[in-house]
Structure 1
Amino acid sequence: MLTQAPIVFAQDDEEFNAVDIMFVRMMIPHHEGAIQMAELIPERTDREELLDLRTEIIEEQEAEIDLMCELLDDAGVTGCDEVGSMMPHEVGSMMPHEMGEMMRGDGMDDDEMSNGMDDDEMGNGMRADEIEEMMPREHMMTHDDRRELRRAENEEFDCLFAEHMIRHHEGAVVMSEHVLDEGESERVADLADGIIDAQQEEIELMEEWRDDWDC
């Protein structure tokens, strides 16, 4: 099965730009979504491949969530608790201005928010269209997707899980590629590189499984 080397961050101080912070704060609930999906596996299937993958997903994603919370602390930004407490489908269904307000997390009131900020510019200096570009909605699970997965069993669950997790992983890759292009922090870039490598490997593996399972 897959193995992922631990991510070791450089100790040099560097500045985090708005894209770095947005990426980290969005990736936390995104990872939690993968964990929640993986936790369904033992109750829905006895397929050995998925049971092994469940353990790897949970361990890897939890370790990266811990690292991302450390990054937010180092950047002097609150929000690990606020973002982490949200269900991933709730984040995916938010309007851009709602996402911006949540991601800023600085306690400003409406009057303070409007000072020096255009109407279409949201949290940490990012505009609504930039937030949408960072988190592609087509890769987020909907309420209906989640309900369908929870009700499925055996072969139906296996195929649905692979389908949704592939799409979910593809979203993480898109987000990671975006921060590599637009971010500034070397530590965030290291995290994004690790996410891309691990999730592309799992995507390829699950695509092979789907072929083998005649999904």
Structure 2
Amino acid sequence: MTVGTQDDEDQDEDTEFNAVDVMFVRMMIPHHEGAIQMAELIPERTDREELLDLRTGIIEEQEAEIDLMCELLNDANVAGCDEVGSMMPHEMGGMMRGDGMGNGMHDNDDEMHDDEMGNGMHDDDEMGNGMGPDEMEEMMPREHMMTHDDRRELRRAENEEFDCLFAEHMIRHHEGAVAMSEHVLDEGESERVADLSDDIIDAQQEEIELMEEWRDDWDC
């Protein structure tokens, strides 16, 4: 009886996550990293108090969720956070288009390395259990992704221009996280991933509404 119970527990653990759960977690980690990198620009570009306060909340909240997602990957017995690497939303779009990925929120005009390859995910790794670009785009529509030009524009903006651009891009970025979370709620199997998705939707929808109010107040 004891052996049978253990076998049942092992089977439950093995089947907790389906391919959509795994793809969601492995895409959401670099997506969160992208939001953190955007937030880290704030003190250098503006002194607006609302954004300085938002920066702290974004970094603390999304770093905590990244830690949780790393645990989920380990429990799913797939490549963990070290193998996921840092991949910005525009780089996920690049992978969907088949034109590769870079490393970090950088460009060649600002000491950067967009052409560096090999630190993201690859076609032959375990991401999404082999799911391809079409499945990935279904989870993360391209309209929610930042482009190279978007990043360059944001990095070069200052003061009121930066404030409006940051709100615009972060709203779109958060909308992408909400879309991904809604997709995994429909298609995933893990209750823990579903709980995380609910938290992401609640938190990021609240910030979207806040930034939309700011944009109106700032006459963006």
TM-score (norm 2): 0.74
- 2:100 matches 1:107: yes
CA gap 1:95/1:195 in 2 versus in 1, 3 angstroms: closer
| Deviation by residue 1:144-194 (Cα, 9 ceiling, x = unmatched) | 111100100000000000000000000000000000000000000000000
Give yes or no for contact 1:100–1:131 (8 Å, CA) kept in 2. Answer: no
| Deviation by residue 1:20-42 (Cα, 9 ceiling, x = unmatched) | 00000000000000000000000
* Paired residue secondary structure (2:7): coil
Superposed displacement of residue 79, structure 1 = 3.6
CA gap 1:168/1:91 in 2 versus in 1, 3 angstroms: farther
Q: Which runs of 4+ in 1 moved over 2 A?
A: 3-6, 11-14, 90-108, 110-123, 125-128
Identity in percent: 91
CA gap 1:5/1:59 in 2 versus in 1, 3 angstroms: farther
CA gap 1:122/1:70 in 2 versus in 1, 3 angstroms: closer
Give yes or no for contact 1:97–1:128 (8 Å, CA) kept in 2. Answer: no
CA gap 1:4/1:178 in 2 versus in 1, 3 angstroms: farther
Higher relative contact order (CA 8 A, sep 6+): 1
Aligned length: 200
Give yes or no for contact 2:96–2:136 (8 Å, CA) kept in 1. Answer: no
Instruction: Name the stretch that deviates more: 158-167 or 93-102.
Output: 93-102
Give yes or no for contact 1:78–1:106 (8 Å, CA) kept in 2. Answer: no
Partner Cα separation in structure 2 for residue 71 and residue 177 of structure 1:
18
Superposed displacement of residue 93, structure 1 = 13
Partner Cα separation in structure 2 for residue 210 and residue 5 of structure 1:
55
CA gap 1:163/1:102 in 2 versus in 1, 3 angstroms: closer
Partner Cα separation in structure 2 for residue 77 and residue 161 of structure 1:
34
| Deviation by residue 1:105-142 (Cα, 9 ceiling, x = unmatched) | 9999x999999999999851534322210121211111
Instruction: Name the stretch that deviates more: 25-34 or 93-102.
Output: 93-102
* Paired residue secondary structure (1:155): helix
TM-score (norm 1): 0.75
* Paired residue secondary structure (2:73): helix
Partner Cα separation in structure 2 for residue 159 and residue 96 of structure 1:
19
Note the residue ranges of structure 2 that are not aligned, 5 or more in a row. 102-113
Superposed displacement of residue 5, structure 1 = 35
CA RMSD in angstroms comes to 8.2
